[in-house]
A and B are shown apart, each in its own frame.
Chain A
């Protein structure tokens, strides 16, 4: 565990120094379901038409993963279009982005716009 943790920290630090240029934006990417690689600590579960936790605080450069546990498709869309939107996530599908510049990012599900959430990105 400790080793894994250490490796992650190292990787993260390398990542941050490498990702200096990405600090002004959050890059989004779709990811296929693969629970082995989904061991992210910043996970937002979509269940019963809610993002949980509704507000998540992360450090710049960290990954954030949403996973849909509803039988209804959901999306993750930045209100101010500050990061790439997900495509429709079916049951158990995931969407991962890397946190960019410090700030507060609100997002919603474009299919069910009542569903909203917030990401707070802090300095690493």
Chain B
């Protein structure tokens, strides 16, 4: 098969035809090709319908993020209620997801009572398996000790709490990039974690779908606001050879996506409060919106892996 670049407008070594060709080769679904790698949002009813028709061998899981239990300021005075609504939406799915991934900031201030409330509310969720990575709000005063003792009990987590596991042939990697941060810097993985990651994926075949999840984006979303990870390039270097890599992050409380080679990056909405789009305010932080608009800016992310297709479909839905 002849592959050549006919229109390289951006001098990045890829044209539209080549891009679509690659995407087709990677087995991406209709959603991906329609919008050139940027996914459209669907209503939860649509997701529910899609989930219903999933064969048992396929895998669907749900990403939930930034619940910030304990926050009670103007941007959302009842984050527990909106967290509950998100869980209700999960419970309403005809086929429940196999498991949840929470990409951090469970709590606002790492207080034990906030974690207790989080756990209490989570009990209402039909899906019981939850995999966590910490946000900076979960490790504020003790370097993450409390978080690790409570949420990584059943996992063989290493170092400050990173780990990997396999489900339906997909290799999942949970990374920690909110600890031991350096003055002036961004999120950070650190040498120990990077060495572990290199070894963790070394023996995997390149056709193994990879899902990486971490709190702070593993791409430079907006470094001026600290929305990036200083050593994420090294991590992605170890994952380059894989045909399908999906990176799921939280932290920025809004959906942003990027495709780079075989790696697709995705950030999720929060269940607590929105944050401004990069560079559109004096600083990041809780954004006040009219009450009737709030739930349209909160949400969760459904991810599906269809066997035989090497990439994953990532679909966001809001809580309105």
Contacts and interface: CB of A to CB of B under 8 A. Distances in A.
Contacts of B56: none
A73 interface: yes
Interface in A21-67: 48-50
Nearest to B288: A71
- Residue of B183, B184, B224 with highest tally of chain A CB at under 10 A: B183
Nearest to B74: A71
For chain A, give the interface size range: 20 to 34
B283 to A, nearest CB: 4
B285 A79 contact: no
Nearest to A108: B183
Contacts of B74: 71
A106 interface: yes
A79 B140 contact: no
A88 interface: yes
Contact of B283 (A50, A77, A88): A50
Contact of A48 (B136, B226, B282): B282
Contacts of B109: 73, 88, 90
A70 B285 CA distance: 8
- Residue of A48, A75, A107, A113 with highest tally of chain B CB at under 10 A: A113
SS class of chain A's interface: helix, strand, loop or mixed?
A: loop
A122 interface: no
A114 B181 CA distance: 10
Contacts of A116: 183-184
A112 interface: yes
A111 interface: yes
A87 B142 CA distance: 9
Given A71-B73, A73-B109, A113 B185 contact: yes
Given A49-B285, A71-B75, A114 B141 contact: no
B271 interface: no
Contact of B225 (A49, A87, A88, A108): A49
13 contacts: A70-B285, A71-B286, A72-B284, A72-B285, A73-B109, A75-B140, A77-B183, A87-B140, A88-B109, A106-B183, A113-B184, A114-B184, A116-B183
Interface of A: 48-50, 70-73, 75, 77, 79, 87-88, 90-91, 106-108, 110-114, 116
Interface of B: 73-75, 108-110, 136-137, 140-141, 181-186, 224-226, 282-286
